[in-house]
């Protein structure tokens, strides 16, 4: 029987393909509710991971949006696959012809600031 981590790793490839095919930039914030649906876990599991510092990187809401937490899909995929998050941003940009073939981490960071 597979453990939970193995199940998440299997889902990572499908999540990666879906995210890279989406017209929404891969670095756009996801709510805890949206991420829980994508990963197949409850919102409470995400909260537990946050408290125990086990889950994907999360970001607090902007001022005036309450106590919500947001996640970036590129960082979630990096957490699942143990690859750098900028590689997913590069792949998303390349699929749209928005980056040169030799785009590096600095280029992806620059582009994510522009397209945000």
Q: Where are the beta strands (DSSP E) in 10-101?
A: 29-31, 59-60, 69-72
Confidence of residue 94 (pLDDT cuts 50, 70, 90): very high
Report the pLDDT value the prediction gives residue 106, as an integer from 0 to 100.
96
Confidence of residue 2 (pLDDT cuts 50, 70, 90): low
Closest alpha carbon to 34 in 46, 49, 22, 25: 46
- Report yes or no: 85 and 16 within 8 Å, Cβ to Cβ: no
Give me the mean pLDDT over the 75-98 stretch. 94
Q: What are the structure tokens assigned to 12, written together?
A: 């990572």
Measure the CA dihedral 107/112/113/116, to 10°: 160
* Residue 77 domain boundaries: 4-115
Radius of gyration of the CA atoms of the chain, in A: 15
Digit-coded pLDDT (tens) for 28-82:
999 999 999 999 899 999 999 999 999 999 988 777 666 788 999 999 999 999 9
Q: In the chain, how many domains are there? A: 1
Q: Identify which has the larger pLDDT, 6 or 56.
A: 56
């Amino acid at each position: 029987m597979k453990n939970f981590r193995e199940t998440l790793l299997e889902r990572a490839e499908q999540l990666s393909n879906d995210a890279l095919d989406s017209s929404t930039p891969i670095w756009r914030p996801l709510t805890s509710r949206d991420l829980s649906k994508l990963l197949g876990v409850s919102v409470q599991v995400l909260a537990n991971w946050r408290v125990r510092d086990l889950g994907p990187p999360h970001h607090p809401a902007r001022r005036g949006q309450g106590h919500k937490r947001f996640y970036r899909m590129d960082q979630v995929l990096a957490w699942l696959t143990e690859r750098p998050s900028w590689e997913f941003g590069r792949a998303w940009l390349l699929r749209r012809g928005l980056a040169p073939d030799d785009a590096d981490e600095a280029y992806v960071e620059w582009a994510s600031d522009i397209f945000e």
